Amino acid sequence: MKHELHLLKYVLFLFLLFELETKADNLSEKRLADSLRAIVNAQTIPDSLESTFEQIRKQRKKLGEDYIPLLKQYAERAQSTGYAKGEMKAYDFIGLQYRYNENYKEAYEYHNKSLAIAIQEKDSTQMFYNYNNLGQVFRKQDVTDLAIDYFHKALAISDAIGNLKSSSYSMNALGTTLILQKDYERALSYFQQSSDIARQRNDMRTLAYNYGSIGEIFLIKEQNDSAMHYFQTSRDLLAETGSDEGMGVAEHLIGRAYLANGEYDKAKERFEQALIFHQKSDDLRYQSYCNCYLSEIAIAQKDYPTALHHLDLAISQAQKVSSLKNLMTAYSNYAEIHKKQNRWEEAYAAMHKSHTYKDSIINEANNKTIQALEIRFETQKKEQHIELLTTENELKNQRLRAGIVLLAVLLLIIVMILYILQIRRKQALLVQNDLQQKVLRSQMNPHFIFNVLGSIQNYIMGNDTKKAASYLAQFASLTRSTLEYSASESIALRDEIKMLSNYMELEKMRKPGKFDFEIITDDKQEADFIQIPPMVIQPFIENAIKHGFNNIDYQGKLTVKITDKNQWIEFIIEDNGKGMTTNSALGHRSMAMQIFEKRRKLIQQKHKKEFTFELINLQDSNPSVTGVRIVINIPVLDV
């Protein structure tokens, strides 16, 4: 009876879904969303849930703003019925839609939710999609190093399961990301590998996209004939697939190549052809691009009425899709027309608007960078949390196995059991020691990084975009180094020196004219081969700048002298700041110094090497001299 009831429900569901599919075109957006919500709420069977999901995906354009809420409702329903596959797919597509909407923080969150379930379910195909989509989230924000990491994870999975199609996609994504890094040779290598697989699979669309990207590299290198060859080959392949969107981009690229060669009539013909395809696919952003290029051609041919017509269209289209780049270009072209006609007031007004949009683009890029940094920190925290949980589970499993062995052979090998437990206890202590060091090193990152974020905000609020961009680039380089080395147990002395120099340069930019610094090293040092614990010296330099040079009315000087003492490296950090009073020495103990002291003890305990530290107030020995000298003997690690 129960089986018959389930069968009846399923038949009724199929009837309702068929009715919805046949009448969907005649329903309003609200009625369509309400109907799908009712169907989702009624589902208890995985097969019917899967069919409902496909219907939601099929109607996504008509659903509009109801699409994401409906997917979230679907995910909740799938979770309540224990349908993990449906839940993780819904989360992944929610992340995709957030990415299309340029809400990268939410996209990152939902792709990660999907990934967590995929890992739990051991679904390698879904894991591939998640890693690939996470890579796209970071690529869209120009955080190329993290994007490449995720694309490599996706590629490793597709290679392991022998999915050539997925491998080809990942290689294409890697190539596109490497173009952003201006690493054109590696990008070409990935595009060629992807193309080899696409030819093997007879995948003409992916092959066409690869050729288009290769052509863009040649266009950047000003090898226009080679670019033209790849663009035309890409277009011919896309013509076979019947992709209006792809054909529009291909014609657009060919137009750019003709324009670069100064062949205006041919370029105009290609852009007009591209416009037809973009209008079919209702792609306003690319329509605006084409109209901007057509206006440039008309300006070059001194056909100003035609140029103005295309610019009016370009601005109207760009405003509808909030394309700041196209608006900036269009108003710049307006200014060019007015200048050529000696209408200087109109030229100035148009150029002012162009610069306004340019500033908006810079501000948007800065906001995306800060958002990406926040996501980067969250990623690091989650990875550390996963590592801790994994280690704890390993320890629990080890103890469980030890307990089973103990029960089985307790009477026969009691002495051996005690010995094994003692060894494992030591191993657990070493693992715990390593984890504590990683946690302490990671605590250093937010401690000084968030101090600097305030300065970046001040530059941006002060509309000093050039300084903000320069400062942000320097800061990004330092952040990349600290994130890389905070996960390592040791670092080459040369890399430590480079990171310290980068940090002091950044602080010097943050406090212009406040202090100068000098790093003194011995040229005979084999700095590339000497390994020391990372990020040990930075807290002392931070204290010297923050406290030593605070409220002084003269130029500060910070000297870092580095000497190789065979078994250890001696760092002498000396400043000419205001020094320390007895009260300040006793009363102030910064978080960074507390972290240093904990790390020092852990390093001594693990490596059985002496790690000494001495702080000297210069005025105590010479009342006419102010400042602090710190002598740190860091042990050389055997790696």
Most distant CA pair in the chain, distance: 103
pLDDT of 272-302, one tens digit each? 998 888 888 788 888 888 898 898 888 888 9
Distance (Å, whole) CA 436 – CA 533: 14
Which tokens is 458 given? 């001040």
Q: Report pLDDT for 10.
A: 46
Range of weakest confidence among 176-185, 428-437, 502-511: 428-437
Q: Report pLDDT for 7.
A: 43
Please list, in sequence order, all residues whose beta carbon lies within 8 angstroms of the beta carbon of residue 542, skipping any fewer than 6 positions away.
448, 507, 592
Distance (Å, whole) CA 588 – CA 346: 61
| 3-class secondary structure, 560 | strand
635 pLDDT band (50/70/90 cuts)?
very high
Q: Is pLDDT at 11 greater than 50 in this prediction?
A: no
12 pLDDT band (50/70/90 cuts)?
very low
pLDDT of 412-470, one tens digit each? 787 777 777 666 666 555 555 555 545 444 544 465 566 667 667 766 776 677 777 77
CB burial of residue 500 (10 Å; 0-12, 13-18, 19+): buried
DSSP-H helix ranges across 101-223: 104-121, 124-140, 144-161, 164-180, 184-201, 204-220
The chain-wide mean pLDDT, for the chain, equals 81
Q: Report pLDDT for 587.
A: 45
pTM for the model stands at: 0.51
Provide mean pLDDT across the span 225-233.
90
What is the bridge-based pairing of β-strands 515-520 and 556-564? Answer: parallel
Which tokens is 77 given? 């329903």
Q: Is pLDDT at 518 greater than 60 in this prediction?
A: yes
Q: Is pLDDT at 549 greater than 80 in this prediction?
A: yes
Distance (Å, whole) CA 269 – CA 495: 54
Q: Is pLDDT at 18 greater than 90 in this prediction?
A: no
370 pLDDT band (50/70/90 cuts)?
low
Q: Does domain 511-639 have CATH number 3.40.50.300?
A: no
Select the more confidently predicted residue: 108 or 29: 108
Provide mean pLDDT across the span 345-368.
78
Range of weakest confidence among 12-26, 91-105, 230-244, 619-633: 12-26
Q: Give domain limits for the chain.
A: 344-487, 511-639
Q: In sequence order, what are the beta bridge partners of 532?
A: 491
Is the CB of residue 387 less than 8 Å from the CB of residue 435? yes
Provide mean pLDDT across the span 214-227.
91
Angle, helices 124-140 vs 144-161, to 10°: value is 160
Q: Is pLDDT at 350 greater than 70 in this prediction?
A: yes
Percent of the chain with pLDDT over 90: 22
What is the bridge-based pairing of β-strands 568-575 and 556-564? Answer: antiparallel
